[in-house]
Structure 1
């Protein structure tokens, strides 16, 4: 990408998209194209085709998606499948039709089998059953990365895919019904502290282990790959380190300053027992994360609740 290149960031108001925008601006890129959801419905094939015809972007970051946590994924199963398939299919296809030089598609680590060996290598894709609670979302994301792969093979496109681990940071979703575990815990502990509660309820047993990546580190990885990587292997992006939900809850309790107790609701689902990505490929490509978990959570907490 050149500094004057016209770059379309789909999903620019979301956590990932806004981080990519921050990164591009910090690196001197100013010819950026956005459309809010009220201006362009990415599920509308004709509207997306018209946008590409008018704007003719040279590069595309596909960060737009319908996302949520365990409850949202399990409740809105058909909606998550349909909306994600439509959004990504329209953008990927129109990128081909209008000669986009390069596209980066953001998939998700939930595309891997529920019981995949740990840490999870890129080659483990499609080797086992998915986690049932987010299977529709995962299937949509698998379809997206396979669409990129096969448009490369059939049409000679330069479309790459990445699989980020669990993300957090500025512009995250803090709705307790639809958010992921880390922002949900931040909100719960903050509100408990402000309201002088005696305890905070956390779902599950606390035993599952998860990997977390600060979203600005993801944006840096995407920028790096967009500049340097060409290939049909979808690349894992993570830290290569995980933490139990119990340890995470204790860390967030300390960062927020909550003094009460943690109550574990073991009637609620745990989800996948462990999900740690093998990041040896992206490390070999010249990128490694830079923001530690405690630092990242502290920055996120300050951005959302203390400013």
Structure 2
């Protein structure tokens, strides 16, 4: 484990004020559940209606009011390849403002430990596989989501600058593709796995004989269940300190075709699967090197088939209230 500044690995104070920014989102809600299960008794969260993190004055007033000791910055504007490619200005502008406001307010009010969450899309499109943390800024980004990636890279740089200038033991974590309860299943805003779950479930229910997916199905992706991600976040807050972002994943990947087959089986779809090769594939492979994470003492525990099966169950149970 890397250690610098004055951080000493230790359990966080379960009675301290802990702000989870984005506590209703996929990652934030999982972190909230994890913290509750671990005995944290003073959790703070605000919906975007209650607190617009893009409004700097409101963010500073909020931090002045609650004065958290710990913060996880999981709030972000997120979306799949279609949304990122269609609205790059939104993904760049919104995420930069959210990050700068929260990080500046947290610094001004002396937050002891802060975890900034990014995305594996920060790495170059053709980075050596598996992708090590040192690959950051060594090549061109995937153009379909470069605006979002630039915003997240800025967040990492912001954390590193805070450490250098103010000596605060704040850290960054870069998760691989996440999925699970609370995901976005919108046909235009979702990532690949929830999009496949929705598509195949609807096909199974309506008796559609053929499902068409974007691209060739050959790209390889790594998937991490969001409950594992939440576990990793708390573990890093209590056990890791260093200027480098930490990759969070499973260390294994599968093709999109493989994922489609697992999803089809999980929802009970038995029709044909076609691939629309006129649509983009995105990055050919994106597997994270999780050596730094395993050296810090954590590894994933939820298998892909089990995770997809339980996510399908959750999707069906909550279909009426989902973000669609």
Unaligned 5+ segments in structure 1 are none
Matches within 5 A, 1:107-122: 107-122=118-133
Matches within 5 A, 1:14-25: 14-25=25-36
Matches within 5 A, 1:181-260: 181-260=192-271
1:278 aligns with: 289
Deviation at 1:106, TM superposition (A): 0.2
1:106 aligns with: 117
* Cα shift readout 1:272-294 (whole Å, capped 9, x = no counterpart): 00000000110010000000000
Divergent runs of 4+, >4 A: none
- Residue 266 (1) aligns with residue 277 (2): yes
1:153 aligns with: 164
Count of residue pairs the alignment pairs up:
307
* Cα shift readout 1:205-233 (whole Å, capped 9, x = no counterpart): 00000000000000000000011111101
2:16 aligns with: 5
Describe the SS at the equivalent of 2:168.
Answer: coil
Q: TM-score, normalised by structure 2?
A: 0.94
2:4 aligns with: none
User: Alignment partner for residue 61 of structure 1, among 33, 51, 72?
Assistant: 72
Deviation at 1:306, TM superposition (A): 4.2
1:143 aligns with: 154
Unaligned 5+ segments in structure 2 are 1-11, 319-324
Q: TM-score, normalised by structure 1?
A: 0.99
1:178 aligns with: 189
Deviation at 1:159, TM superposition (A): 1.2
User: Matched residues in 1 for 2:292 and 2:224: separation?
Assistant: 16
CA RMSD of aligned residues (A): 0.7
Deviation at 1:184, TM superposition (A): 0.2
User: Matched residues in 2 for 1:276 and 1:230: separation?
Assistant: 23
